[in-house]
Amino acid sequence: MVAAAAQCRGHLDVWTAETVTAEPLRIPVPLPEEKAALLTRLVDGLEAAALHWLSGYAAGLAARIGTTPGEAPSAAVDVPPSPHATVVFGSQTGNAKRVAETLARELEAAGHAVRLWRADAYPLRELKTERLLFVVVSTQGDGDPPDDTRGFVEFLTGPRAPRLETLRYAVFALGDSSYAKFCAAGAQIDARLAELGAERLLVRADADVDVDAAARPWFARALAAAREALRVTTPSAKVTPLRPSRASPAWHRDRPFAAEVLVNQRISARDGTKDIRHIELSLRESGLSYEPGDALGVWPTNPPTLVDALLDALGIDGETAVAHDGATRPLREWLATKREVTRLSRSFVIAHALRARCDDLDTLVASPVALPQLLAERQLLDLLHAFPAAWDATEVVAALRPLAPRLYSIASSMKIVEDEAHLTVARVAYRAFGRDHVGAASQFLAERMGGARVPVFIEPNERFRLPPDPARDIVMIGPGTGVAPFRAFVQERAAIGATGRNWLFFGNPHLRSDFLYQLEWQQALRHGQLHRLDVAFSRDQPHKVYVQHRLRRRARELYDWLEGGAHVYVCGDATRMARDVHDALRDIVVEQGGRSRDDAEAYLARLAAERRYCRDVY
């Protein structure tokens, strides 16, 4: 049971205690299964330099095959490499990774040799020799690529990018059409590959939040294109993964586990402005496991009162049967369990405007400023009341986005809590436009008390992992509920006896009401499991103080930690906090390291490439 936030007085500034694994690679290798297993054991954990040496050594042995002792090797013969497809993905929340893995599996099932790479693990020097490349990439924030794709994009757009006249490629872009720069990262990569001379194999696919609807037809086109591009006259070798594929868990995104709620406790003050919940879920007998940094996916159900209000606004009987996408359900069930009703989409607003025939709404839709504001501020019910229009049941189901799971950073380590997963959830509830508004998943979770069941799955996050070396120091920056994964980090490091120091920066509006897990952090300080704690309570003084201000105040010490090999982690809001924190880190490197602004950016980019600067932002 987590301790509730203590009711404290006074100003708190700082407490002190006394005084890159790459994505598993899938390569076709013509080896018996037992030999492949031995090879896996041999290469596991080797650094890049050792792997390069090993590849050269193997090539030398291959050149001598067929010669007898004392016989000079025959002249080298240029043998074209076996044709293969390379799939590179950049993912922020796991959707692009899921699409890329599915594409790789389908290509393999069709008999093609496939390599699957996360963008930050892809060996950029190999791009000039690629013949068939599929890029699957999401867009985050203000049109930015995911963190794991920044290096890939910088290389492509930089002066070292090679000419790619022999490359054929296709891009599958993921985004959210509610944002102005929809699929901007995918569009940038697609355009740049063409500029470098590559041939576009397929027109870029831009997937909205309903990723699967765009992915299914694109897979069919991609497989057909791959068949043509990889056509060879000799039989292809059997495709064998270099590392055996993990068995699929019994429970996953499309088959979630019904986890029992063990604890649902408010950890913000009752009279505070925020309702923050600590929720403990049981994974007993599920077989599910996770690492610190992973997320828990939650499939919510929309509030019944909201569904009733929507049916009333639409003027449609909730029991009306609707057939869509191969399933037939009552409209009430579609709205409750299968459709987004707390988030508006650009496509739905445009479709609604055509039916409403309202000049005011048409003006909003046409405005690059007003439409994003409408999407951010209003929910479906607000739109229906403000601009009435006629819909029938089938049309509204088809026009609304499918309900998507919500991902929450896991706030626990299995080494401490065993078969449980803990979450830190901010309940979204506010009043606007004359009615109450709630968040779909946060309200769903807030209402689930002990004994209730919640459909969940594990979403791994390989980009947000603790250092493999437990002697490394770590700096954790997590305002608000962004502190969740750092509770898991501190638990994990305590459980394994890590000797590296742990430094946490935490921020929220008020000390008295919003100091999440306060007693736990103070206890961790006393026990030497947390070595520094800097806090920023933005509304407790006339001028606002945020975590980036605390970073700047500790600039000298923070820079010394970085120079000493510390890893830095940032979790929380991508649009403002993460940018402000990045700017603060850059300025600290400029001031304390005597570097130029560009050199400081390169310094942080190098830390990111080394997995020493990791962000989990949304």
Q: Which of 307, 297, 238, 276 is nearest to 484 (CA)?
A: 276
> Poorest-confidence range of 23-37, 159-173, 302-316, 404-418?
23-37
**Band of pLDDT at residue 618, cut at 50, 70 and 90:** confident
Intrachain domains 14-19+464-617 and 257-301+405-459 with the same fold: no
Are β-strands 532-537 and 14-16 bridged in parallel, bridged antiparallel, or unpaired?
Answer: antiparallel
Per-domain residue ranges for the chain?
Answer: 14-19+464-617, 82-229, 257-301+405-459, 308-399
Provide the Cα torsion 38, 20, 283, 262; round to 10°.
160
| pLDDT tens digits along 237-276 | 444 444 444 556 789 999 999 999 999 999 999 988 899 9
Report the topology of domain 257-301+405-459: Elongation Factor Tu (Ef-tu); domain 3 (2.40.30)
Cβ-proximal residues to 160 (8 Å cutoff; 6+ apart), any chain = none
Indicate the CATH number for domain 82-229.
3.40.50.360
Q: Specify the pLDDT at position 94.
A: 86
Does residue 309 carry a pLDDT above 60?
yes
Structure tokens belonging to residue 31: 């080896």
Of 449, 512, 8, nearest to 270 by C-alpha is 512
Output the CATH code of domain 14-19+464-617.
3.40.50.80
DSSP H or E segment with residue 613: strand 613-617
- Considering only the top CATH level, what class is 308-399? mainly alpha
Axis crossing angle, helix 95-109 with helix 211-229, rounded to the nearest 10: 40
Residue 266 pairs with which residues in a beta bridge? 277
* Mean pLDDT, rounded, of the chain: 87
Task: Provide the token pair at 157.
Answer: 């757009």
φ and ψ of 426, to 5 deg? -90, 115
At residue 538, the pLDDT reads 96
270 token code pair: 């009752």
What pLDDT is attached to residue 398? 96
pTM score, whole prediction: 0.81
In the predicted model, is pLDDT for residue 218 greater than 80? yes
Nearest Cα to Cα of residue 299 among 402, 211, 215: 402
Whether 346 contacts 420, CB under 8 Å: no
Q: Distance (Å, rounded) from C-alpha 101 to C-alpha 136?
A: 10
Mean pLDDT, to the nearest integer, of 341-353?
95
**pLDDT, mean of residues 150-157:** 93
Over 80: is that where the pLDDT of 497 sits?
Answer: yes
Span 392-397, mean pLDDT? 97
In tens, the pLDDT along 58-109 reads: 544 443 333 333 333 333 334 344 578 999 999 988 899 999 999 999 999 9
Q: Quick one: tokens of 283?
A: 């994974």
Question: Who has greater pLDDT, 83 or 551?
Answer: 551
Residue 335 has pLDDT above 90, yes or no: yes
Q: Is the pLDDT of residue 389 over 70?
A: yes
Q: Which residue has the higher pLDDT, 294 or 246?
A: 294
pLDDT at 61: 44
Q: What is the 3-state secondary structure (H, E, C) of 47-113?
A: CHHHHHHHHHHHHHHHHHCCCCCCCCCCCCCCCCCCCCEEEEEECCCCHHHHHHHHHHHHHHHCCCC
Per-residue model confidence (pLDDT) at position 115 = 94
In whole angstroms, what is the distance from residue 165 CA to residue 155 CA? Answer: 17
608: Cα within 13 Å, side-chain hemisphere:
22
User: Per-residue pLDDT averaged across 299-327, rounded?
Assistant: 97
Classify 449 as helix, strand or coil: coil
In this predicted model, what pLDDT tens digit does every residue of 426-442 receive, in sequence order? 999 999 999 999 999 99
